[in-house]
Amino acid sequence: MRKVGIGIIGCGNISTKYLEALKHFPMVELKAVADMRSAAAEKRGAEFGAPGLRVDQLLKRDDVEIVVNLTVPLAHTDVSLAVLNAGKHVHSEKPLGINTVEARKVMELAAQKGLRVGCAPDTFLGGGHQTARKLIDDGAIGKPVAGSAFFGCPGHESWHPAPGFYYLRGGGPMLDMGPYYITDLVQLLGPVAGVVGSTARPRSERLVNSPPMKGALIPVEVDTHVAGTLEFDNGAVVSITMSFDVPQHSHSPIEIHGDKASLLVPDPNKFGGEVKIAKPRGAWETIPLSHGHADGEFRSIGVADMAASLLSNRPHRASGELAFHVLEVMEAFQTSSNEGRRVKIESRVDRPAAMPAGRATGQID
């Protein structure tokens, strides 16, 4: 099998998860890592047996076909544009851009150059979420009618070593955590037609409780509690809350209610988890997972799927088109809250193809 060469730009916290996960997939081969901080690139490269380079050096390498953009959200667009201008496919961490204006630049340039854009999250390709998808597709819950999605925490300043960017433009709970939930909902239910939202910002500063910044105050530039309603093309209506202002809660991550049964979908920030179904007035039944990539951290499966798609000339699943649609949906919550109206979603995207059932770890097609 020909291996697709992979380069990583951004050697921060999340890069370790990507680099560890790449080892599972035989269709990819790590060629180099890069960072604006030379020491960070050299350190991460040494850990994973790859050259640690400057960004411009990585972009000049002929053996790198896909570049994974793991920079902070404010840099996503500029780095993705640089990758595309270097003639390489790009897979970005979420969000695709801090707004749809920025993200559209990436999609338009890729189209001009005949290159592919991929984007996190790829957790929806995990066994828990693909099992839920199969149940819906097989008619186990009937016609989807309603649902809920909930994420709440007291803020990332409780654990992250440098949490400031979560509260700057391009951050906030919707742009940070919303991609996991809304991407999963779109692959389960299809595209979103409209959004109604309300937002709040109870604090203008946050106190950092984690080293090395413990005791520092960081400014809050974005709303930190976002709630509202997603109206899907298929008629389903899903309530959603994304918040950095929740001390503790007992909500399920995602529930989908059909006209025949209800479905509990696992945490979309993870690949596996329990899938449960219940009929009217019946008990919850745990469903055995029909798909692999559930027991572990596979936060490069979207990159591997893009590589496999290049080898077999098919669409990739964690696509830029999907990420753009999700970004437009997320952006609409703030617009709706600010303007007091329902926002129509203009972009449309097909549900990504379901993963084949019964594949072993590392297998895609």
172, amino acid identity: G
- Residue 252, domain member (yes or no): yes
Q: Both 90 and 193 in a single domain? A: no
| Within a domain: 62 | yes
CA angle 237, 299, 103 (to 5 degrees): 60
Distance CA 317, CA 122 (A): 8
Per-residue 3-state assignment (H helix, E strand, C coil) for the chain: CCCEEEEEECCCCCHHHHHHHHCCCCCEEEEEEECCCHHHHHHHHHHHCCCEECHHHHHCCCCCCEEEECCCHHHHHHHHHHHHHCCCEEEECCCCCCCHHHHHHHHHHHHHHCCCEEECCCHHHCHHHHHHHHHHHCCCCCCEEEEEEEEECCCHHHCCCCHHHHHCCCCCHHHHHHHHHHHHHHHHHCCEEEEEEEEECCCCEEECCCCCCCCCEEECCCCCEEEEEEEECCCCEEEEEEECCCCCCCCCCEEEEECCCEEEECCCCCCCCCEEEECCCCCCEEECCCCCCCCCCCCCHHHHHHHHHHHHCCCCCCEHHHHHHHHHHHHHHHHHHHHCCCEECCCCCCCCCCCCCCCCCCCCC
Quick one: what percent of the chain has pLDDT higher than 70? 100
The tally of domains found in the chain comes to: 2
Where among 85, 119, 153 does a domain terminate? 119
pLDDT digits (tens, 9 = 90+) for 68-80: 999 988 899 999 9
Which residue range forms the structural domain that includes residue 50?
Answer: 4-119
User: pLDDT, tens digit, for every residue of 22-72?
Assistant: 999 999 999 999 999 999 999 999 999 999 999 999 999 999 999 999 998
pLDDT attached to residue 141: 98
Q: What is the pLDDT of residues 281-301, one digit of tens each?
A: 999 999 999 999 999 999 999
Verify that 48 and 197 share a domain, yes or no.
no
Distance CA 9, CA 61 (A): 13
Examine the domain organization and report whether 174 and 280 are in the same domain.
yes
Q: pLDDT (tens digit, 9 = 90+) per residue, 312-356?
A: 999 999 999 999 999 999 999 999 999 999 999 999 999 999 999
Same domain, 271 and 153: yes
Please give the pLDDT value at position 198.
Answer: 98
Residues 201, 338: contact at Cβ < 8 Å? no
Predicted pLDDT of residue 1: 75
Domain contains 307: no
| Final residue belonging to a domain, choices 226, 261, 290 | 290
Q: Do 96 and 112 lie in a common domain?
A: yes
Assigned domain for 256 exists: yes
d(CA 285, CA 287): 6
According to the model, what pLDDT value does residue 248 have? 97
Identity of residue 261: A
Strands 237-243 and 225-232: antiparallel
Query: Domain with 253 in it: what CATH number?
Result: 3.30.360.10
We report the CATH number of the domain holding residue 109 as 3.40.50.720
Q: Are residues 111 and 247 in the same domain?
A: no
**How far apart (Å, rounded) are the C-alpha atoms in residues 73 and 103?**
11
Instruction: Check whether residue 110 and residue 182 sit in a common domain.
Output: no
Residues in the chain: 365
Residue 179 maps to a domain: yes
pLDDT value of residue 287: 98
Q: Which of 318, 323, 315 lies closest to 104 in space, CA to CA?
A: 323
Q: 103 with 133, same domain?
A: no
Q: Are residues 114 and 235 in the same domain?
A: no
Residue 106 lies in a domain: yes
Tokens representing residue 62 in the block: 């002929």
Do 148 and 282 have their domain in common?
Answer: yes
In the block, residue with structure tokens 């006209």: 259
Q: Is residue 20 part of a domain?
A: yes
Same domain, 114 and 132: no
Q: Is the pLDDT assigned to residue 240 strictly greater than 80?
A: yes
Structure pTM? 0.95
Indicate whether 25 belongs to any domain: yes
108 in the same domain as 137: no
Domain boundary among 290, 318, 350: 290
